[in-house]
């Protein structure tokens, strides 16, 4: 029996093991990129710069020097679809500056036609009576102060023993 060479696995990676074309197919059937075949590791940037442990606050991965997992990610076959040159020329996402809200013209409400007010019927004039204000006698010196002075605040002291607690309760019962 003769040994057959192992079957090559089917893969979605385009090109050979060492080279890859810079070509991207879009869903509408169009392609972009320079179309040149370049070295898979040197001509293309890694998809992720670092491992899953090294992330910024915004969730972006970064390469940590000396980390074995980061080095493995950078040197893996998972690369960006565009070569480094095409990646530099493609348009980047820009942060949108918060624009001042454009005041949308709102239609002014149409004023309803004023309804005529009913005219009051004439009423016989009555003599106006003004209320009589009587002078109050001066208050006595005792009743001038309306609010009592606040009692001095006691600092609540936590009893350390049972005897202190009993004394505190006895003092409270005496005040009540």
Q: Where are the domains of the chain?
A: 19-89
What are the distances in angstroms from CA 167 to CA 19, 32, 133, 158? 92, 90, 58, 12
* Residue 58 Cα to chain centre, angstroms: 12
pTM given for the model: 0.37
**Can you tell me the distance from the alpha carbon of 90 to that of 43, in angstroms, rounded to the nearest whole number?**
16
Residues 6+ apart with CB under 8 A from 22: 33, 34, 35, 36, 37, 38, 43, 44, 81, 82, 83, 86
Determine how many CB atoms are found less than 10 A away from the CB of residue 44.
Answer: 21
Both tokens assigned to 169: 């309760």
pLDDT by residue for the chain (176 residues), tens digit each? 567 777 777 777 677 778 888 877 777 877 778 888 888 888 888 777 788 888 888 888 888 888 998 888 877 777 777 888 888 888 777 777 665 555 566 666 666 666 666 666 666 666 667 667 777 776 666 656 667 777 777 666 778 889 988 988 888 887 65
């Amino acid at each position: 029996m003769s040994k057959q060479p192992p079957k090559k696995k089917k893969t979605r990676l385009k090109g050979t093991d060492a080279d890859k074309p810079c070509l991207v197919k879009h869903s509408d059937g169009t392609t972009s990129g320079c179309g040149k075949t370049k070295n898979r590791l040197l001509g293309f940037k890694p998809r992720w710069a670092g491992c899953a442990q090294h992330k910024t606050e915004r969730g972006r991965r970064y390469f940590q020097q000396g980390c074995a997992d980061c080095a493995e990610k950078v040197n893996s076959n998972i690369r960006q679809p565009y070569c480094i040159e095409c990646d530099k020329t493609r348009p980047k996402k820009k942060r949108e500056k918060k624009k001042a809200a454009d005041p949308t013209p709102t239609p002014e409400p149409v004023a309803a036609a004023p309804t005529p007010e009913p005219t009051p019927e004439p009423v016989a004039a009555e003599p106006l009576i003004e209320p009589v204000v009587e002078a109050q006698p001066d208050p006595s010196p005792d009743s001038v102060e309306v609010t009592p002075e606040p009692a001095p605040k006691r600092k609540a002291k936590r009893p350390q023993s049972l005897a202190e607690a009993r004394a505190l309760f006895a003092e409270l019962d005496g005040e009540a």
